[in-house]
Structure 1
Amino acid sequence: MYNKKFWKQLLIALALFLAGWFTFGQAQAQGKPEKTKVTIAVGGKNLFYYLPLTIAERLGYFKEEGLDVEIVDFAGGAKALQAVVGGSADVVSGAFEHTIGLQAKGQRYQEFVLQGRAPQIVLVVSNKTMPGFKSIADLKGKKIGVTAPGSSTNMMANFVLAKAGLKPSDVSFIGVGASAGAVAAMRSGQIDAMANLDPVISMLTQKNEVRIASDTRTLKDTQAVFGGNMPSGCLYASAAFIQQNPNTTQALTNAMVRALKWLQKAGPSDIVKTVPESYLLGDRALYLAAWDKVKEAISPDGMMPADGPRTAQNMLQQFDAELKGKTIRLEDTYTNAFVQKANAKYK
């Protein structure tokens, strides 16, 4: 026969259990995403630039945060941006500097989780059409391939040209995408130079088809080109979307931070097993060699570096006439609030 002490302890334990369950239920209710179906626009999903997005999707991190995410792939970041501004997507996985350009046009968009801490963009010159290339000035009057006009590859090329005294109008920019089409455009001689990313760049450099004119795949090279930390791929959305959907934004950030942390620990075989076969462009060894060149560029925690927004603004001001005379509130172009919570949750 049980004594009174036993029953008293059992009732206390039961009360504590129910109190904990109630608190847990409340926390769950408070954290429920306001919008569970989210469309993310991206320009060139196969690129390492966007690898954290693919990892979050393939490992089910979005689903575990209560989200049904649809990722729509475009030829370049400028096209992905148009999708969000036009209302056919909620969030962009794209270059941070677009938030600055949008603010100059009176539109407030905000970055909320960083994917890359270096742009990974490489400007290469064709050995076929420009065998005598000596300096950036030689590109005057030439055709330069970019993922899409107005994209981050276009911006990087504009910046490198500006440092050499050339204006965007001194060259012809041609959209070539971020996959096999870009490689084909270079090999066929349709373009004289190209600003693109890995694995596309590694496919061309391995056979000595191009020479590198400017490289931003490592932190050191990035700082040499831009003069500071240059943020790159990120998730950004309109300020209105973030304000109206804070729990959804937090859920997206949580999934992305988990993906970033997974990438910090993953081995080459883990990555190859996780990404779609098409990402390898038919050459697994090349894909892994390219990953080795860019892995330092992946953000370890999703945090925007303190000098990042200013570096991006300085870059744009070198060639973007729309920014001249405009006051940009850089503090409105990003927030680390969601990332800080995600890092507290996922160590």
Structure 2
Amino acid sequence: MPSSRHARSPSSRSRRRFLGGIAGASIAPAFSSFLMPGVALAQSAKLGTADYGVASIDPLYAMAYVAAKKGYFAQAGLDVRPLNAQSGPRAKQMLAAGQLFAATSGVNDPVSLTIAGKQAVLVAGFDNRIAFANILTTKKLYEGGLKDIRSLAGRSIGVTQPQSATWLMAVYLADRAGIKDKLQVRALGDFSTMLGAVKSGSVDCCTATYSMLNKAKEEGWGVPLFEVTDDASWNANFGGDVPGVGLYVMQDSIDKRPEAVQALVTGIVKASDFIRQTTPGDIVSLIEEEYLPGYGRQLSIDSVSVFKKIWSGDNLITPQHYARLMDVMGGRQITPQEMKQVPYEKMVNMSFVKRARGLA
């Protein structure tokens, strides 16, 4: 329930409500999908409403939270109602089913959706590295000799779901280390379960967000085997910048509601600029109460501090970025023939970002 302070706010009364029916997938306490509060009343939005699914509750998605909290979507004329889709695969499924106007999750999700016959398009980038490509294990195993990804041969790694972005990272990094066929990949369902499984020893490691890494370190038991902020390790494995999460919509939405897509992207761009110019502590102060339930303040600040190093400064996904993404997905999540179905020109439309930034 909203606090008494929010209960006095007209915008909170009109928009802080809950939707049920989606299984949890966050290291924060799981609860039903939530609509985040905005600033302007819904009836003032000249471009109508738009439900926007965010893959989970995590500081990684701060751009969406800031855009809602600061009223950037409403200022652009659109009543955007972000909700917790509680996983990337669920977000893309809801988008394809018409339950969402837009989604933010792993950038591999719209590619997979398009290959499945539902044309989706990336319209803005959030980052330049895949923030959930970290590999987390326990201090006990690390001290026992589990020092790098290659030493995971014959062991197990936890991911969210098969074919998810976390699954792709596990398979890709194992392949790069030459142990693809020697690593057991286990689908565990959500970040909370993954974290608990590593801590209890039911799996040897898991792909992890920085919030997960920080929580495990804070509790004194977690050690990273691979960190996306290690420039040498990242470039050795990925060759340069690769988009991790992004904003995407169906092509049909671009065709029928281009002004609404523009308003959505403009809100994200303004949030990106605000984040770049604002300290981690001030960012967390703005969004923690509504959007990061269950996270400790310092945990959130530490995560945002790291994400500021990898969040995109311009929200653009370039042909070079996309080519590296295809290198990651190719032969693992999609076949060479399927790659021909999803060229950059079909999958990425940066015209909305360019207009928002005055570059068009």
State the TM-score, normalized to the length of structure 2. Answer: 0.78
> Matches of 1:338 and 1:230 in 2, distance apart?
20
Asked if 1:199 corresponds to 2:199, the answer is no
In structure 2, the CA distance between the partners of 1:265 and 1:218, relative to structure 1 (3 Å rule), is farther
- Please report how far the alpha carbon of residue 181 of structure 1 lies from its aligned counterpart in structure 2 after TM superposition: 4.5
Q: Indicate if the aligned counterparts of 1:147 and 1:154 stay in contact, CA closer than 8 A.
A: yes
- The equivalent of 1:51 in structure 2 is 62
Would you say the 8 A contact 1:119–1:217 is kept in 2? no
Root-mean-square deviation (CA, aligned residues, Å) is 2.6
Alignment check: 8 A CA contact 1:140 1:170 kept: yes
Q: Distance in 2 between matches of 1:34 and 1:210?
A: 49
Q: CA deviation at 1:235?
A: 0.7
Aligned to 1:65: 76
Indicate yes or no: 2:306 matched with 1:299: no
Native 8 Å contact 2:153 2:182 kept in 1 = no
Q: Give the CA deviation at 1:55.
A: 0.7
Q: 1:229 to 1:279 in 2, by over 3 A?
A: same
CA contact (8 A) 2:156 2:183 kept: no
Indicate how the Cα distance of structure 1 residues 63 and 168 shifts in structure 2: closer, same or farther if over 3 A, else same: farther
Residue type of the alignment partner of 2:349:
T
Q: Which amino acid aligns with 1:94?
A: S
SS of residue matched to 1:275: helix
1:341 and 2:352 are equivalent in the alignment: no
Question: How high is the TM-score relative to the length of structure 1?
Answer: 0.81
Aligned pairs for 1:116-127 (under 5 A) are 116-121=127-132, 122-127=134-139
Deviation at 1:255, TM superposition (A): 0.3
Q: For residue 206 of structure 2, give the secondary structure of its aligned residue in structure 1.
A: strand
Q: Partners of 1:75 and 1:145 in 2: how far apart?
A: 17
Q: Secondary structure at the match of 1:307?
A: helix
Which residue number in structure 2 is paired with residue 39 of structure 1? 51
Say yes or no: does 1:133 pair with 2:146: yes
Contact 1:101 1:323 in 2 (8 A): no
Deviation at 1:150, TM superposition (A): 2.7
What pairs with 1:269-280 in structure 2 (closer than 5 Å)? 269-277=281-289, 279=292
Rounded to whole Å, the distance in 2 between the matches of 1:172 and 1:125 is 14
Deviation string 1:146-178 (CA, Å, 9 cap, x unpaired) is 244432222111110111233379413223423
Q: Is the 8 A contact 1:99 1:109 kept in 2?
A: yes
Alpha-carbon separation, structure 1, partners of 2:279 and 2:162: 35
Cα distance in 2 for partners of 1:305, 1:260 equals 17
Distance 2:78 2:188 in 1: 33
Secondary structure at the aligned position of 1:110 is classed as: strand
Q: Indicate the residue corresponding to 1:107 in structure 2.
A: 118
3-state secondary structure, aligned to 2:210: coil
- 1:91 aligns to 2:102 (yes or no): yes
Q: Distance in 2 between matches of 1:303 and 1:128?
A: 41
Aligned residues of 2:169 and 2:207 also touching (Cα < 8 A): yes
Alignment match, 1:209: 221
Spell out, residue by residue over 1:12-57, the C-alpha distance to the aligned partner (whole angstroms, 9 max, x if none).
xxxxxxxxxxxxxxxxxxxx9885211112211x323211011111
Please state whether the residue corresponding to 1:335 is helix, strand or coil.
coil
Q: Is the 8 A contact 2:159 2:187 kept in 1?
A: yes
CA distance in 2, matches of 1:342, 1:153: 31
The verdict on how the C-alpha distance between 1:256 and 1:66 changes in structure 2, with shifts beyond 3 A counting, is same
Q: How does 1:1-347 map to 2 (within 5 A)?
A: 36-44=48-56, 46-121=57-132, 122-128=134-140, 131-167=144-180, 170-178=183-191, 180-217=192-229, 222-277=234-289, 279=292, 281-320=294-333, 322-326=334-338, 327=340, 328-344=342-358
Q: Per-residue deviation at 1:228?
A: 2.2
Quote how far apart the aligned CAs of 1:63 are: 1.6
Task: Calculate percent identity across the aligned residue pairs.
Answer: 21
Kindly provide the amino acid, as one letter, of the partner of residue 308 in structure 1: H
Report if the CA contact (8 A) 1:219-1:296 is conserved. Answer: no
Which has the bigger relative contact order, CA under 8 A and spacing at least 6?
1
Three-state SS of the structure 2 residue aligned to 1:303 is coil
Greater Rg, structure 1 or structure 2? Answer: 1
Alpha-carbon deviations, 1:310-329, whole Å to 9, x = none? Answer: 00000011422x32333132
Write the letter of the residue equivalent to 1:38. A
Offset of residue 276 of structure 1: 2.7
Letter aligned with residue 333 of structure 1: M
CA distance 1:216–1:168, shift in 2 (3 Å) = farther
